[in-house]
Structure 1
Amino acid sequence: MLSRRSVLRALGGGAALGALAGCGVPAAYVAPGDRAAADRSARDRRLTWANWPLYIDTDDSGRKRPTLEAFERRTGIAVDYVEEINDNDEFFGKISPALMNHQPTDRDLIVISDWMCARFVRLGWVQEMDRARQPNVTRYLDPLLRSPAFDPGRRFTVPWQSGITGIAYNRRELGREIRHVSDLWASDLKGRVTLLSGLDEAFALLMQGDGVDITRWTADDFHRMCDQVEKRVKGGHIRRFTGNDYIKDLFSRDVLACQAYSGDVIQLQADDPDIEFVVPEEGAELWSESLMIPNLAAHKTNAERLVDHYYDPDVAAELAAWVNYVCPVPAAQDVLASAKDEETAALAEDPLIFPDTAMRRRLAIARDIAAEERVEFARRWNGIVGL
């Protein structure tokens, strides 16, 4: 299974974009009046949608996508669904030359992580959506996700799926609970802890463990966090830094506690009920991977209708039951609860799909790393991680 959360590699595409935007290169930014193409939706009833692998419901054969095919039947709009996004930076490198040079990408809808969405929004590479065509989004989008710092009011982005970066651990092997980020640094976990290697994936939870409000963190907060991580790397407490391969370390018990994504842990728990996921008392990061319409998309209206289709609670429930990430449509919980199948109905009570009130109070969306900060911060973090 390919990771849907990228690893920021050295000073690769993400850092290069930060430098580009930070230098204010005129060719990179696209003004609002230059973003739209003539919309062919009415006469050309189709659209192209780029997404990550294994990120939509399929039937038992793996060939059909029930929720997507329902949209095609209802609207008569044909969807070319392409599973081509394996890494945020890689995909940025694929489509940025077209966007930078004001050329079409041949895609009407894309899904990337919000920290990367922030850069697209800053550069003016995506179009504002028409909420008049999206009544479901207006009505049902989770209030926690409605107004991130990079896109107030979600004018340019709509969450596809959401998730939590928290802590996973083997309770039986460890013999105690983990409730705080600081619990990772207990002496009995020396050499048995992993952290995520991606800067954008790792930093927020570690700052929260230090009492930082991640909606308004500062450079001093960042460097203090790095100092602490660097000390624990040198002392041998942190075993290594990982992408999604923390899953095999945790499953094999080589690692007893790690930074982890909520959606992965649901799958792990099916095979090993001793694995638990915790949102620390200090809080955890709520993240999203979001739908966007890139500049010069030829089928903008069709794309907006497809986005709204997935905010129908019945559709959102069907998707949530398959992907097991945090559902951005809380109203889907009641739909799942009423399912005749007991296993499906039980998903409505899973706090990693529908966080309960107590958990929601501890979730926050981190402010993104600004363009002018990225090169410096990436260099510091990657030096610690060894990228």
Structure 2
Amino acid sequence: MLAACGVRPAYVPEGERSGRDLSGREPSLTFANWPLYIDTDDADPGRRPTLDAFRKRTGISVRYTEEINDNDEFFGKVGPALMNGQATDRDLIVVSDWMAARFVRLGWVQKMDRAAQSHVAGHLDPQLRRPAFDPGRLHAVPWQSGITGIAYNRRALGRELRSTRQLWDADLRGKVTLLSGLDEAVALLMQANGADVTRWTQDDFHAVCDQVEKLVREKHIRRFTGNDYIKDLSSGDVLACQAYSGDVIQLQADDPDIEFVVPEEGGELWAESLMIPNLARHKANAERLVDYYYEPEVAAELAAWVNYVCPVPAAQAVLADSGDAELAALAEDPLIFPDREMRGRLAIARDITSAERRTMAQRWNALVGL
């Protein structure tokens, strides 16, 4: 019907996704990522040591841009070109896995050549290998992973928090924030209610919304945030909040009273993944860069800077054996290399389907004021 009306369908069939790969004659690629999500040189923030080493080893230069600030915003930026069978002028992008699922469903990204990526095949964290949206992880490879849990100021609160349900305690009224994004917030809240987030139902979702709606009316929740919860927690305006593990590790460097907890009911394990858009002009170069970051030594260098969950468990031994006390301490941090006990409390939430998303987003966004 769309074709009859002269409107191109959004879905791109497999045979229309690849273009002429210029990697052999053009030793370059363009890599779009989030801000502050790669290692930099302390003396020169404009230098990125792991990328510099890749260029020196391979002769491939990388034009690195920090242009992704929001998943939906980036989707809107590149979507028109991808929908219309045009190149995006990007060879490699990083988006959250819930957004990666949308790209894969729409056929907007290409399968990678795993035969040319021995390090990905050999070192990818087993817990991240089989996302429902991308069986075999042929289209998406985790750049970094992370945990959604709860953060709190232990000194200011005067007690410990061990459960998401404790966010609703009376002494936290007006001192709690939740994440504003539907995909970022609801899994942890479902876990607090005892739901299995690997197969949650619409009833689980609406139970959370009913609960949050009541807490908003009672002014228990101070506000809904993006990453700016960091400022609220640092200033003391907020005592406890939903938070990401990597953010809190960085906060603790300035304030050791800030704690991050994987709740006793469970926390959400997620990833932000590398993908190659349709018609990328340097696909082989991009695949080579992806595989490079799965070398344990390179993954360790990146993990030591970004402090999120490393998707390459073998990097832990590299840091432990580095001879540097600070790096060795990172190897023992379960928020970077989760141990068996912590992994037992982590779950990867099932995706929100396209059929569910419109209704769920309408209800959630009305609650959070988006």
**Residue of structure 2 equivalent to 1:84:** 67
Q: CA–CA distance in 2 between the matches of 1:219 and 1:26?
A: 32
Q: Which runs of 5+ in 1 are unaligned?
A: 1-19
How much has 1:175 moved relative to structure 2? Answer: 2.1
**Residue of structure 2 equivalent to 1:17:** none
Q: CA–CA distance in 1 between the matches of 2:59 and 2:20?
A: 20
Q: CA–CA distance in 1 between the matches of 2:231 and 2:9?
A: 44
**Residue of structure 1 equivalent to 2:85:** 102
The reply on whether 1:352 has 2:301 as its aligned counterpart is no
Q: Work out which of the residue numbers 129, 154, 168 in structure 2 matches 1:185.
A: 168
**1:312-334 CA deviation, whole Å, 9 max, x = no partner?**
00000000001111100010001
**Residue of structure 1 equivalent to 2:37:** 55
**Residue of structure 1 equivalent to 2:152:** 169
**Residue of structure 1 equivalent to 2:366:** 383
**1:332-354 CA deviation, whole Å, 9 max, x = no partner?**
00101112221122111111111
Q: Work out which of the residue numbers 37, 41, 53 in structure 1 matches 2:23.
A: 41
Q: CA–CA distance in 1 between the matches of 2:66 and 2:167?
A: 36
The reply on whether 1:119 has 2:93 as its aligned counterpart is no
CA RMSD, Structure 1 to Structure 2 (Å) = 1.2
Q: Which runs of 5+ in 2 are unaligned?
A: none
Q: CA–CA distance in 1 between the matches of 2:324 and 2:175?
A: 39
**Residue of structure 2 equivalent to 1:301:** 284
The reply on whether 1:132 has 2:115 as its aligned counterpart is yes
| Stretches of 4+ aligned residues off by more than 2 angstroms | none
**1:35-70 CA deviation, whole Å, 9 max, x = no partner?**
111211112211111111111111121121111111
The reply on whether 1:155 has 2:138 as its aligned counterpart is yes
**Residue of structure 1 equivalent to 2:201:** 218
Q: CA–CA distance in 1 between the matches of 2:363 and 2:238?
A: 25
Q: CA–CA distance in 2 between the matches of 1:26 and 1:114?
A: 26
Q: Work out which of the residue numbers 315, 319, 323 in structure 1 matches 2:306.
A: 323
Q: CA–CA distance in 1 between the matches of 2:153 and 2:35?
A: 28
Q: CA–CA distance in 1 between the matches of 2:327 and 2:252?
A: 16
1:262-341 to structure 2, matched below 5 A, reads: 262-341=245-324
Q: CA–CA distance in 1 between the matches of 2:340 and 2:365?
A: 36
Q: CA–CA distance in 2 between the matches of 1:225 and 1:87?
A: 24
Q: Secondary structure of 2:199's match? A: coil
Q: CA–CA distance in 1 between the matches of 2:340 and 2:8?
A: 46
Q: CA–CA distance in 2 between the matches of 1:56 and 1:270?
A: 18
Q: CA–CA distance in 2 between the matches of 1:169 and 1:356?
A: 22
Quick check: 2:178–2:221 contact (8 Å CA) kept in 1?
A: yes
**Residue of structure 2 equivalent to 1:15:** none
Using the size of structure 2 for normalisation, the TM-score is 0.96
Quick check: 2:8–2:84 contact (8 Å CA) kept in 1?
A: no
1:359-370 to structure 2, matched below 5 A, reads: 359-370=342-353
**1:1-58 CA deviation, whole Å, 9 max, x = no partner?**
xxxxxxxxxxxxxxxxxxx9xxxx8610001111111211112211111111111111
127-136 or 335-344: bigger deviation: 335-344
The letter for the 2-side match of 1:32 is: E
The letter for the 1-side match of 2:34 is: W
Q: CA–CA distance in 1 between the matches of 2:32 and 2:254?
A: 31
The letter for the 2-side match of 1:347 is: L
The letter for the 2-side match of 1:41 is: S
The reply on whether 1:30 has 2:12 as its aligned counterpart is yes
